[in-house]
A and B are shown apart, each in its own frame.
Chain A
Amino acid sequence: MVDIEIEIDGKVVHGNSGESVISIADREGIEIPRFCYHKKLSVSANCRMCLIDIKGNPKPQPACSTLASAGMKLYTKNAKAKAAQKAVMEFLLINHPLDCPICDQGGECELQDVAMEYGSDVSVFNEGKRIVADKDIGALIHTDMTRCIHCTRCIRFGAEVAGIVEMGGTGRGEDLKIEPFLSEGIQSELSGNMIDVCPVGALTSKPFRFEVRSWQMNSIQSIARHDLVGSNIFTQTHKGKVKRVVARDNESVNETWISDRDRFSYQGLASEKRCLVPKIKVNNEWREASWQEALDFAVNGIKNNNSDGSKFGALTSKNATLEELYLLQKLTRGMGSDNLDYRSDFANPAAANILKSSISLAELEDIDHALIVGSHLRLEQPMINHRIRKATLNGASVSAINAQTFDSNYRISNNLLTAPQNTLATLSGVLKAVLNEASEKQPDYLNSVVVEQAHKDIADNLLNAENAVVILGEHVNGNPDSDGISQLVKDIAEASQAQTLNVSLTSNSLAAEQVGFRPVNGKNALEILASDLNSFVMFDIYPDFDCFNPESAIENLSRSDAFVVSLNSFEDDSVLKYSDVVLPIASFYETSGTHVNIDNISQSYSASVKSAGDSKPGWKVIKVLADLLEIQGFEFVDSCEVADEALSMTPSTSVARAKITGSEIPEISTVWQCAPYSVDALVRHSSSLQETQIGQINVASVSKATAKLLKLSEGDLFKGVPVNINNSVAEGCVFVHTYQPRKC
């Protein structure tokens, strides 16, 4: 790719023809000051800080907008360049407040840094500084617009990356104000990145405001665990507390961005609802206990209720670490039980979810068509959605088979509204259409399938694409037909030579798959929760959110002959209701662990802070339980050893073909989708996230006709969620999107 030679400050360097001079200089380690330039955003050349001298050019030119051409001679530090840079610095400072000592950006401020080198000690400006009124733009971003230097990075981030034009520059001249429309706050699920791109203290983290000076914190490399991407982050800590989370560059994973969910969830760590000490239930009374007492109590309980291993069951959330999943799996199987699962929110975890992803995150940018099945991708997997959006910016088209039309940041050209009970039929129609077009033989089960025009349109989209992907989303998890659906998605992709991307198994589900945290012959989550098993380990389970049918699960686990050991980081009334022991475990960032992302990349991280109170890292607790239960093979010194062993496992890949037969679904069905800031206990306890518009999502959408059938009116409560009658939902279903506990 390197094809031309240019000279910068007398040094011969190589670059690509048409590459910006500043990017070549950056690669070569030649420092050029800048504010508006950002490698991931379009060039605007407005700050003028990167002015350099180009031989043969009478005026200094911005390095960001100057494209390299062979033989160019550039001077970044000669008298002409320096004079221009110092002039710009002086202009930037005349109206910038001198409030660095109380500015949260102090110490990590690009303006401060550059001013140290290019600024003057004495100001000759005596005309009174500009003051700009601040706007409340929401719970996440604090504004101090008097500090704004109008670089427009935040505007460009919104328009180009977040895909929602929210910030703009109003007024003109020195009255130019960077702000969102009126009092409408910022709504993007990626908004926090504006804080990262802001070179000054105009946009800072609201939850972090006045917490601690930036240089007093430790920055620890970590991995965000709320979605399938495993975005790379720094957790920044002070005195044993996580004070802030910022993005860490990793081009193939999260580039340089992170979602708001990953950025602000840490606030939940400081919640008053943390489990800090072990608790045991004696004679139906809860009391605090020492670890020793609680562990003994737990082990005795399991042993006493478990003459036979088959009466033991273990459930985990999909947020557990690879190590925790591995050890709990090993413990369960060591007990002689095969009753284990991580899919407690599935309507029908009967067989395997057979869809494997065949395309990487980075490759998603190169697709020319995506078919989304059952996902509100933008809110559920923001960083994956971002890659799809990039593809659409390069011309890719997107179609969807969803129960509702969702607010997207790219155009979905073909949106086939489909109620859950019809999804199987729709996909069958699409498959048949694809096979028809490709003149391929059809399996018998498609004989009676009727191909509609809409199916043909979707099929055409796929067949006309060179490089398509079919994306299976998490809405199918609540569909009793989920196995058939994922089988059809696989078949459609194969028949149309498209790639597959499975985003239905989120968070750390792929780690659970890696260690085989699902039954081979034993009971799955649904069966475990409905069975007469009599001892359980529930790892990080909050039944009101994590179980498909919380009410029946809680009822069954509360049986008097069921002994339940719960490991949780947050207090939960339902957990207390059915548990006999609650062992407090570390939350995110308090334990070492490993996340397996959608590219099947295992990303390990160490603990950023000590776990709260007396809580302990989950993997250690499971190890000690196993030791006390006298199960062999738990001689681990640290979590790395656990991870090594877990990753050396070869997960079973042979999965039987799912049958494509519709199960019985009522005429009107419900899709219950947990709102994005309620997907796990940590985000549910992050107060700033809960305050945002996304955090407040609480709506049961239903069409006019369906509402009539259900005798629902606008504003009624449907399973506790306010009804909104609109035409964005498929007939025959209610789409519930809410932060509230699940109701079956």
Chain B
Amino acid sequence: MNKVCFKNINKDNPSSLATYEASGGYKVWRKILKGELSQGKILDELKTSGLRGRGGAGFPTGLKWSFMPRNQEGQKYVVCNSDEGEPGTCKDRDILRFNPHAVIEGMAIAGYVMKASVGYNYIRGEFMEPYYRFEEALNEAYGAGLLGEDINDSKITFNLYTHLGAGAYICGEETALLESIEGKKGQPRFKPPFPANVGLYGKPTTINNTESFASVPDILAKGGQWFADLGVPNSGGCKLFSVTGHVNNPANFEIPMGTPFSDLLEMAGGLREGRKLKAVIPGGSSTPVLPAKAALKMNMDYDSIDKAGSMLGAGSVIIMDDTTCMVKALTRLAHFYYDESCGQCTPCREGTGWIYRVLKRIMDGHGKNEDLDLLLSVQDKIIGNTICALGDAAAMPVESFIRHFRKEFEHYIKNGESMVAKDG
């Protein structure tokens, strides 16, 4: 446990430059500055490591970096997505607070590989403590001569800045995030063109999640194979899982990919006295909910969770015990997407409000028999038809909640109250 991003978490002053360097930090970056590590070698190691985007989509990081037109002249950008806002997710906050230098080094390395001289770390506006910690780390890094113009006469320039969000979940979507850095509303762009070609200020840009960047220095220090071997095939390395909800010890755990869910549940202190596991959302609010039976069979890796009927997402494991009213839980999530839809494209703007209102009506005791079919039909009309993934994210929980817990919804419609005696 805690081998990569969290390796210093139990040390004194974990976020300091001294702690980071004592554990081997900036070794890779110094090697690069001395001209001892080529871009090609870095890309090879990353591909070998099997590192997949930790923001939720799970796209192979090495492959993503190789899409950048590295040798194209002109300004390019590296952007870190620290706009953590997916309900149930709170891992990047801890990386920023306890290991900010790993993010800085990861971004600097990315800048070197992509020949991008400027980076921005987009931190959500509410994360003020993480922001101050990250800024402190930036100052330390500049002070130590690790960032700036022509660093140590290496001809390598990398300047890194923080951009703060202002409260919009959608900015976690990478192109909305770029719009937001440009000082606009966070409305996702249609793709193609992809950011690798037309990104920030119209320039080629690579965007990765905080955890992805923070994993890069260790991968390069210890080798791609070392990282890959931590996990299982197709899910290299270890990963942070935020276990929240009805457990005794909710916390972030950095564990090898492929760890059985039941082990993770145990690490989190298990369920509360006398409660039974009812459902698990394994990857954050946008991923389909799983009933206990299916969840207990899965391991924490991409393929296993996929097989169980959901997605690993950002590794945000929401545990629900038998006191949970599933109608209320879904209504809560539906409200979230309704509130956070940017409003740009039709299906999401109109559909998220529709879904929420029908659910709200059911909760208010005015449900109708045909409402469940209506909900399924509305979510089906959103899925696949929107500019960005928020539409799908809003739709998928509706389908899975109703599929797995239909009886509970029917009971609520018929009786105007929850089937669960005491809701969570």
Contacts and interface: CB of A to CB of B under 8 A. Distances in A.
- Verify whether A and B have any Cβ pair under 8 Å: yes
A58 interface: yes
A87 B386 CA distance: 11
Interface residues of A, number: 35
A375 to B, nearest CB: 33
A46 B387 CA distance: 7
B362 to A, nearest CB: 12
Contact of A174 (B190, B349, B358, B374): B349
Contacts of A175: 343
Contacts of B168: 172
B381 A91 contact: yes
A698 B340 CA distance: 47
Given A47-B345, A169-B343, A127 B385 contact: no
B30 interface: no
Interface string A35-55: 000000001111111010000
Contacts of B339: 173
Interface in B196-228: none
A87 B190 CA distance: 19
B330 to A, nearest CB: 17
Contacts of A95: 350
Contacts of A58: 384
Interface in B327-357: 338-347, 349-354, 357
Contact of A94 (B338, B354, B386): B354
Nearest to B368: A126
Contact of A62 (B190, B374, B382): B190
B64 interface: no
Contact of A88 (B347, B354, B358, B387): B347
A118 to B, nearest CB: 13
Given A62-B190, A125-B354, A174 B343 contact: yes
Nearest to A45: B190
B374 A90 contact: no
A470 to B, nearest CB: 33
Interface string B140-174: 00000000000000000000000000001000000
A481 B227 CA distance: 82
A171 interface: yes
Contact of A91 (B351, B374, B384): B351
B185 interface: yes
Contact of B374 (A47, A49, A124, A169): A124
A393 interface: no
B172 to A, nearest CB: 14
B70 interface: no
A66 to B, nearest CB: 9
Contacts of B343: 150, 169, 171-176
Interface in B292-344: 338-344
A457 B185 CA distance: 40
Interface of B: 168, 185, 190, 192, 338-347, 349-354, 357-358, 361, 370, 374, 377, 380-382, 384-387
Nearest to B168: A172
Contacts of A125: 354
A373 B354 CA distance: 58
24 contacts: A45-B190, A45-B345, A45-B387, A47-B345, A47-B346, A48-B345, A48-B386, A51-B385, A65-B190, A87-B380, A90-B381, A91-B346, A92-B346, A92-B350, A94-B350, A95-B350, A124-B370, A125-B354, A149-B346, A172-B342, A173-B339, A174-B343, A176-B342, A176-B349
A172 B188 CA distance: 13
A210 B384 CA distance: 41
Contacts of B361: 127
Nearest to A170: B185
Nearest to A175: B343
B370 to A, nearest CB: 8
A174 B346 CA distance: 9
Interface string A112-124: 0000000000001
Nearest to B392: A59
A60 B387 contact: no
Contact of A127 (B192, B340, B342, B357): B357
A84 interface: yes
Interface in A82-136: 84, 87-88, 90-92, 94-95, 124-125, 127-128
